[in-house]
Amino acid sequence: MKDKEIGILLGGVSAEREISLKTGEAMFEALQALGYRVQKVFVDGDIDRVLRQTTIDVAVIALHGTYGEDGCIQGMLETMGIPYTGSGVLPSALAMDKLKSKELFRLYNVPTPSYYVARSGDLDRLEQIHSSFGFPSFVKPRSGGSSVGAGAAKNLAELKQRFEDAARFDEWILVERLIRGREVAVGLLDGNALGAIEIEPKGGFYDYKSKYQKGQSEYHFPARLSPTRYQGVLNLAERAVHAVGATGATRVDLLVTSDENEYVLEVNTLPGMTPTSLLPKIAAGAGYEFGALCEAILERAALHVGEGLPSVSEAERAALSAAGVPLAPAE
């Protein structure tokens, strides 16, 4: 890889842009320090034109949220023939879609909190829809991450407020049964668990502030579980990753209860790589320094569909043009 031009894709257009910038900057500095030829590629609505004007051989995706983590950028890189880090198009889309991933968890017998989905226009009917579900509940956008637009509700008034908060980020809203338990995250490489960390947020809920502001949470690695239960959590995380088909570096978020039950919340196909992010903490406990983790992620860059779409030859372009078929200008 050291003879290739590496592009760090960072920024993006989602609500998680700020975190993406931090992830991208950290990975850029780490790979540059290891002697790789890296450049930053800031992602916006014109990323297709930017990539065509920028010579890179491999893309390190440091994006989070919609258009970066949901298969969109992955599909574009596939068609351009640029190998990239993280999962392919379909696993990225499935993991980002909390409804579809939970459906797959149930299919693969991976325990996950009970749930239902509603649309943003259902606010006036929410009491009727929610009537038999009960409280407390947890509300989040169907797609998205970093706990943006998510929160707990212990009554109807709070449910409606949380519903409105989530609807700012997605037309579809996921409502889950609120499970009381310890927050545990498992880091994985190629579906193999590296370890599990326990998160103890000072505010009681691992929200955006607790995740990204230093001093807002305490971390325990390895997670404070019995050896048997610890191994069970690792195995459960591996099954969750297998269910959505994710590859590369991933993170699985779980809840571990006092009555010996574990529940998978979601699979993250592009985990954060900021100084407070969980995957680097887990990897460090498994013997990976931050630079080595970035290098391991880079080494797994690939095309998941093929070698990209073939270019149209000059003869083919002439024939298509003569037939009246509109074509983009040749590069």
User: Is 288 a residue of the active site?
Assistant: no
Q: Record the tokens describing residue 48, joined without a space.
A: 């297709």
User: Is 268 a residue of the active site?
Assistant: yes
User: Is 103 a residue of the active site?
Assistant: no
User: Is 200 a residue of the active site?
Assistant: no
**Looking at 97, 198, 253, 262, which residue is catalytic?**
253
Alpha helix (H) ranges present in the chain? 17-33, 47-53, 72-80, 89-96, 98-107, 126-130, 156-167, 208-212, 227-244, 278-285, 290-299, 314-322
User: Is 16 a residue of the active site?
Assistant: yes
**Looking at 143, 146, 217, 277, which residue is catalytic?**
146
User: Is 127 a residue of the active site?
Assistant: no
Distance of alpha carbon 166 from alpha carbon 151, whole angstroms: 9
Which residues have CB under 8 Å from 193's CB, separation 6+?
Answer: 186, 187, 234, 235, 237, 238
> Would you give the distance in Å from CA 210 to the centre of its chain?
18
Place of tokens 């910038």: 21
40 sits in which H/E element: strand 37-43
Which residues have CB under 8 Å from 4's CB, separation 6+?
Answer: 37, 57, 58
CB atoms within 10 A of CB 176: 21
CB 186 within 8 A of CB 233: yes
Place of tokens 């190629």: 190
Which residues have CB under 8 Å from 66's CB, separation 6+?
Answer: 13, 14, 72, 96, 143, 144
User: Is 137 a residue of the active site?
Assistant: no
CB 6 within 8 A of CB 58: yes
Query: Residue 181: which of 205, 157, 162 has the closest Cα?
Result: 205
CB 56 within 8 A of CB 5: yes
**Looking at 16, 97, 207, 262, which residue is catalytic?**
16
**Looking at 17, 142, 162, 251, which residue is catalytic?**
251
**Looking at 78, 142, 266, 288, which residue is catalytic?**
266
User: Is 52 a residue of the active site?
Assistant: no
**Looking at 212, 230, 263, 288, which residue is catalytic?**
212
Distance of alpha carbon 204 from alpha carbon 180, whole angstroms: 11
* Distances from the Cα of 303 to the Cα of 65, 79, 233, 294, angstroms: 21, 10, 30, 18
Residues with catalytic function: 16, 146, 212, 251, 253, 266, 268, 272
